[in-house]
Structure 1
Amino acid sequence: MIRTRAARFRRGIVFVLPGLWVLVVVLWELLSPLGTQFIELLAATPAIACAGTGRRQCVLLGGLCALLALVPPVPSGRVGASGRLGTCGAVLAVVVASYLISSRTRRLNGELERAREVAVTAQTVLLRPLPPRLDGIALASRHVSAGEGALVGGDLYEALSTRYGVRVLMGDVRGHGLPALGTAAALLGSFRDAAHDEAELPDVLRRLERALHRHVWDRRERGTGGAARDRWDAEEFVTVLLLEVRADGEVMALNCGHPWPHLLPGDGPRPIVLAPGDPLPPLGVFPLPAELSPLPLIRLLPGDVLVLHTDGVEDARDAAGAFFPLARALAEAARDAPPALLTLIARVQAALLRHTGGPVADDFALLALRNERGPGPQAAARPPRALVAGP
């Protein structure tokens, strides 16, 4: 409410600024004891209106106010007829120039708005909103891009309901913002096909690796060549976390250099960092091994929440250089029992932005999923798992 009132006040000041300028110039001319002529400053009125609002009507109104101010009460002795005539001509010239500039600015703003709408639509299609529920699994996600003018960047995620279970992708392309969009698009497109086509999770990962190699090759062929191109190829990589939530709640995982997820058990608010093993190197650094076996991550019981994230979350720093305490933020965000997923993610995002105290330096993404299926015969007890407890 306070911000809305402040914005309205600023808009009101901008609209009346040309009139205030005319009033100040006229009073200055009348009250100045030095005999100096300031009436020529009225010629700036249309330019002020153009800069303030950019509307052609305001430019014309500002010019009219300036012309009317040239009519007495300004004494003829202080401003002669030639001075008034010259000032009048200057006002008219500035009105014409400002009117043309305003028309061009309005046209360019319209084109910019249309381009922004196209960009928003394209980026939304690329990183489309997740459905609130897939095959009994509730979902919620948030993404913030560090690139100016980009809604999405190097972080990517997707969740799909397939005949093999709910398959989830969380990834992080080297770099951030608009330059990373091409790689993110290639991987997301490949995952959306492979998740339905491939019966085994390792085959999905191999499809992602091939998509990355094709994308890098295409960019290399279209590039300028030379050492810079070779250096870019060597540095192009993506961290990937692939999950498969099966019908009994068992979650299988393949991890290529990505942070492991956090678990919020349904029977307690303390977050747990799942660590079933060492991750593989990121995609693009080394070829995938010939033998790939998914790791059993956890059996997700009804009410359990799994929180996936990119490294932009835990790597976020405050002014003193301290890293963002994700586990503590999750514990505070999950103070409600059970927490709404959208509320949980929004609280963590707000805590992260408070921690950084300004714009983020890297993209970050959060994805939470909760098992809302009924208890099954194989999900009666939580099996042992390798994990590291969060603080």
Structure 2
Amino acid sequence: MAIVAVVDIVAGAGVGFLPLISLGPAFAGLTGGLRRTAGIGVLALVLCLLLSLFNGQFADRRGNTAMIGVVGVSAAGLVATARRQRREAELASVRDIAEVAQRVLLRPVPLTAGPLRVAVSYTSAVAEARIGGDLYEVVISPGGVRVIVGDVQGKGLDAVETAAVVLGAFREAAYDESELVAVGERLERALGRHLSDEKFVTAVLAEFRPDGTVTLLDFGHPPPLLVRGDGTVGFVEPPEAAPPLGLSALGAFDGLGQIEPVPYGFAFAPGDQLLFYTDGVTEARDPENRFYPLAERAAMLKDPDPQHALDAMRRDLVAHVERPLRDDAAMLLLRYREV
């Protein structure tokens, strides 16, 4: 408004800059509160009146049109400000609810679980979202530490709802069932009651026993990355592929009968690490369309603090992509520690 006033005084009344005074209350409505917008509107009206008197346009057509324009824009700015503040309040409320949903759905994992140190990283592909279709949980059961990492088909609220079903069923079954296969069956039944339209959930279940062995059960999920204490790195592949959770009712057959996931295990010694992840990590591509080389980045997990190591890998993943991730990316790191 100051610039318009100076230009109007210097250029003279014939140029017609006076109506541009209404830009002040227009921009005030975009950023300020009601009081500020109203104050800018009053200031614009006073300034318009003074310039009309200075230019000799008071009470003529040009002066009246300019003042009517300022009043109209100021009123519109007040209405827009009120609506914007109401939307901001609603958004703040929704974010508070989302924070609660996050704590319920993806509650913090324990830093230690039996002989394990635990770290987690989650990045949602939805802008400003904290939760999405990826899921993880660590449960200390009577038979050992049980873990799930999974990925729900799709994105958005439907994926979050399905993830809640899986996590709720796992938290109960992981503690109640004596066998890992029975935990998987409980998840399959829970999803059978919930899913429709041929949707599915890939997941890998793990059981860390007190005797230093690990049993895995893979439902079409990317295999975890095993990093031995001596630096050896490799993916722990299942003996045979199995369909994701939720597809058993569609009849996946291998020629002899329906395919069921086969438990497989290995020894887990002090110094070893097991990294679970979702395909949002391994399928993340750089601008040259190259996938993120997870196995080559295993050296980043040498940090004594597992959470610091995982945070560094997450930053490296984001730097590799050089843009917002297109899919949710979750990582869960379990490190064997001396008790």
Shorter-chain TM-score above 0.5: yes
Q: Is 2:249 the partner of 1:284?
A: no
Instruction: Measure, in 2, the Cα distance between the counterparts of 1:309 and 1:91.
Output: 58
Instruction: Measure, in 1, the Cα distance between the counterparts of 2:82 and 2:8.
Output: 33
Report what 1:239 is aligned to. 202
Report what 2:212 is aligned to. 249
| Conserved 8 A contact 1:145-1:176 | no
Q: Is 2:7 the partner of 1:62?
A: no
One-letter identity of the residue aligned with 2:123: V
Post-superposition, which runs of at least 4 consecutive aligned residues in structure 1 deviate over 6 A? none
Report what 2:301 is aligned to. 334
One-letter identity of the residue aligned with 2:271: G
Local SS of the residue matching 1:157: strand
Aligned with residue 325 of structure 1, among 293, 299, 307? 293
Deviation at 1:111, TM superposition (A): 1.6
Q: CA-to-partner distance for each residue in 1:171-195, whole Å, 9 max, x for gaps?
A: 1111233331122111111101100
Q: What pairs with 1:177-326 in structure 2 (closer than 5 Å)?
A: 177-216=156-195, 220=196, 232-233=197-198, 236-268=199-231, 270-275=232-237, 277-286=239-248, 293-296=262-265, 298-326=266-294
Task: Give the TM-score taking structure 2 as reference length.
Answer: 0.90
RMSD: 2.3
Instruction: Measure, in 2, the Cα distance between the counterparts of 1:208 and 1:244.
Output: 15
Q: CA-to-partner distance for each residue in 1:355-381, whole Å, 9 max, x for gaps?
A: 11111111111000111233xxxxxxx
One-letter identity of the residue aligned with 1:258: H
Q: Is 2:78 the partner of 1:109?
A: no
Task: Give the TM-score taking structure 1 as reference length.
Answer: 0.78
Instruction: Measure, in 2, the Cα distance between the counterparts of 1:107 and 1:73.
Output: 36
Local SS of the residue matching 2:245: coil
Structure 1, unaligned runs of 5 or more? 1-21, 221-231, 375-391
Structure 2 vs 1, CA of residues 300 and 112 (structure 1 numbering), >3 Å: closer, same or farther?
same
Aligned with residue 151 of structure 1, among 117, 125, 130? 130
Instruction: Measure, in 1, the Cα distance between the counterparts of 2:8 and 2:261.
Output: 85
Deviation at 1:74, TM superposition (A): 6.5
Aligned with residue 50 of structure 1, among 29, 33, 57? 29
| Conserved 8 A contact 1:54-1:105 | no
Instruction: Measure, in 2, the Cα distance between the counterparts of 1:205 and 1:213.
Output: 12
One-letter identity of the residue aligned with 2:263: P
| Conserved 8 A contact 1:258-1:279 | no
Deviation at 1:318, TM superposition (A): 1.3
Structure 2, unaligned runs of 5 or more? 253-257
Instruction: Measure, in 2, the Cα distance between the counterparts of 1:75 and 1:128.
Output: 66
Structure 2 vs 1, CA of residues 80 and 37 (structure 1 numbering), >3 Å: closer, same or farther?
farther
Sequence identity, in percent?
Answer: 38
Q: What pairs with 1:110-189 in structure 2 (closer than 5 Å)?
A: 110-148=89-127, 150-189=129-168
Structure 2 vs 1, CA of residues 170 and 80 (structure 1 numbering), >3 Å: closer, same or farther?
same
Instruction: Measure, in 2, the Cα distance between the counterparts of 1:155 and 1:205.
Output: 17
Structure 2 vs 1, CA of residues 214 and 356 (structure 1 numbering), >3 Å: closer, same or farther?
same
